[in-house]
Amino acid sequence: MKQLVRVGIIICGRYSSCAGGKCLRALRERDGAFSGYGGGVELELAGFTSCGGCPGGNIEYAPEEMKKNGVEAIHFATGMIIGYPPCPNLDYFKDFIKSRFNMKAVYGTHPIPVSYFEQYNIMKDKRIKDWEDKTRLIIGNEELRLKYN
C-alpha cells in the first residue's frame, strides 16, 4: 500500500483567480516539484489558496488550516518563483512555515513554461536569489517546458 501525502498549494495573490490547471496537472502526472516524491507515495491535494497578496498576510493563517486538514507539505506555485516579478518573500515564507507549523515547504509546482524560461535566461542574474535551488525540481527539460507553456 502506498503512503498517502497530503499537499497544499499556495499561489501568488496576483494570480488569485487562477484555476490551478498547470499545478493540478503536475500533481496528477508527477511533473515538476511533484516528481520529488517517491513512487511509493500517493499525493492528494488538501489545500489551495493564495498568499493573500503582498506582503503575504495569508501565510500566517492558511498553513494552520491546511495542517488541520492533514497537509504535510506546502508547495509554492511555480508562478511565485518565476512570475513577473518573482515573490521577494519566498525564503521568509518557507522559514516561517517550517518554524511555526513544522511543515515542509517546497519551491514550485509545475515545470517552468518555455516563455518564462526564456525570460529568465534574459534576466537571471537580477531576478531570483538561489535560482538553482528554487528551480531544481521545476526546471524540467524542453519537452516538459513546452507541455506547460
Which domains are assigned to the chain? Answer: 3-147 (3.40.50)
DSSP string, 67-113: HHTTEEEEEEPHHHHHSSSPPTTHHHHHHHHHHHH--EEEE-SSPPP
- Alpha-carbon distance of 43 to 20, in angstroms, equals 16
pTM: 0.91
- Taking only the tens place, the pLDDT of each residue in 22-39 is 999 999 999 999 999 988
pLDDT of residue 132: 74
Tally of CB atoms within 10 A around 49: 19
pLDDT-flagged residues of the chain (< 50): 125
Length of the chain: 149
